């Protein structure tokens, strides 16, 4: 199950050859447009491409963006029947204006207020119905109002009772609510922000990591560190540093989605947490070579591991 902020990612591609006479901004001559699944929907797509059967649970509006979103989900064979429609909020949409393979500007259409209790109850009801067949739950929190502290507590309690592996891609504002989960995957900026410290060296990284793990009473903590790779902290006292597998970096958009998807997919298939973290690191190395949100296939992932394996 994937619970979180479902989004539509739109890309407007073009070229720039002049500056506007109206203001000191570039004029983008539009050549093409495309829409992609974003946020929690991109997490579900990552799982689908790896061969899993994701159930996407979230909220969309009653608007043209939701129709595009559901059309994309149908094309990718991801069920949309457990999405909750909220007439009072738009479908979160991020539109990126791209020129010469670079992002010029981004526009966001969204409502980041917390969902109503009525909508939260509908989400919880869907989770209860789908949990019997699930092996894991991913909570993809982008801070768009879907993940509320109250819903989060009920969902984590339910998942723990069901014995599900619970993975969280966190938002800083809810960090203290992600208690007793299986793994939480902040990047080093998020981890440092929560701890009130800038992670500038190995010593601070380790202090921040162990303190966060202990305060959340989590089973593990995976801090992603950009070009420095990842660091996996485990409750049993083991710390594993994983060097980056990336050779070229074009766009980190959606890399966190790929990391948590590959990790949970691997654990669900029987991998140890360390093995899953290594696999997710290789998966991230593939997608950041693409522009925009991307996914890694089994074939691409195996090829990446064979080419760059340090074992």
Active site residues per annotation: 257
Q: How far apart (Å, rounded) are the C-alpha atoms in residues 128 and 227? A: 39
- The per-residue b/e assignment along 141-166, b for 16 or more CB within 10 angstroms, e otherwise, is bbebbbbbeebbebbbebbeeeebbb
Q: Please say whether the beta carbons of 194 and 226 come within 8 A.
A: no
Q: How far apart (Å, rounded) are the C-alpha atoms in residues 270 and 307? A: 23
* Residues recorded for the chain: 311
Q: What does 37-83 look like in DSSP terms, one character per residue?
A: EEEHHHHHHHHHHTT----EE-EE-SSHHHHHHHHHHHHTT---TTP
Residue found by looking up tokens 């506007």 in the block: 20
Q: How far apart (Å, rounded) are the C-alpha atoms in residues 113 and 131? A: 27
Give the count of beta carbons closer than 10 Å to the beta carbon of residue 128. 13
Q: Please say whether the beta carbons of 52 and 133 come within 8 A.
A: no
Residue 300 burial (C-beta neighbours within 10 Å; 0-12, 13-18, 19+): middle
């Amino acid at each position: 199950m994937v619970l979180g902020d479902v989004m539509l990612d739109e890309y407007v591609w073009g070229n720039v050859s002049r500056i506007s006479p109206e203001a000191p901004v570039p004029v983008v001559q539009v050549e093409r447009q495309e829409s992609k699944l974003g946020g929690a929907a991109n997490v579900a797509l990552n799982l689908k491409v790896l061969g899993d059967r994701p159930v996407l649970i979230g909220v969309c509006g009653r608007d043209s963006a939701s129709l595009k979103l559901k059309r994309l989900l149908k094309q990718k064979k991801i069920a949309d029947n457990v999405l909750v429609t909220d007439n009072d909020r738009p479908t979160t949409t991020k539109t990126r204006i791209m020129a010469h393979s670079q992002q010029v500007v981004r526009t966001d259409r969204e409502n980041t207020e917390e969902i109503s209790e009525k909508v939260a109850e509908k989400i919880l009801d869907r989770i209860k119905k789908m949990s019997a067949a699930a092996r894991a739950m991913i909570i993809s929190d982008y801070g768009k109002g879907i993940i509320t502290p109250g819903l989060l507590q009920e969902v984590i309690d339910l998942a723990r009772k069901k014995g599900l592996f619970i993975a969280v891609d966190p938002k800083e504002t809810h960090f203290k609510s992600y208690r007793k989960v299986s793994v939480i995957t902040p990047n080093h900026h998020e981890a440092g922000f929560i701890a009130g410290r800038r992670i500038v060296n190995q010593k601070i990284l380790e202090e921040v990591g162990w303190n966060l793990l202990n305060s959340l009473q989590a089973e593990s903590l995976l801090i992603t560190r950009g070009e420095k790779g990842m660091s996996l902290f485990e409750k049993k006292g083991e710390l594993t540093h994983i060097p980056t597998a990336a050779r070229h970096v074009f766009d980190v958009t959606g890399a966190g989605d790929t990391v948590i998807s590959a990790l949970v997919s691997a654990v669900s298939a029987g991998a140890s947490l360390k093995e899953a973290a290594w696999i997710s690191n290789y998966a991230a190395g593939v997608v950041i070579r693409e522009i925009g949100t991307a996914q890694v296939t089994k074939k691409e992932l195996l090829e990446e591991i064979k080419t760059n394996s340090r074992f």
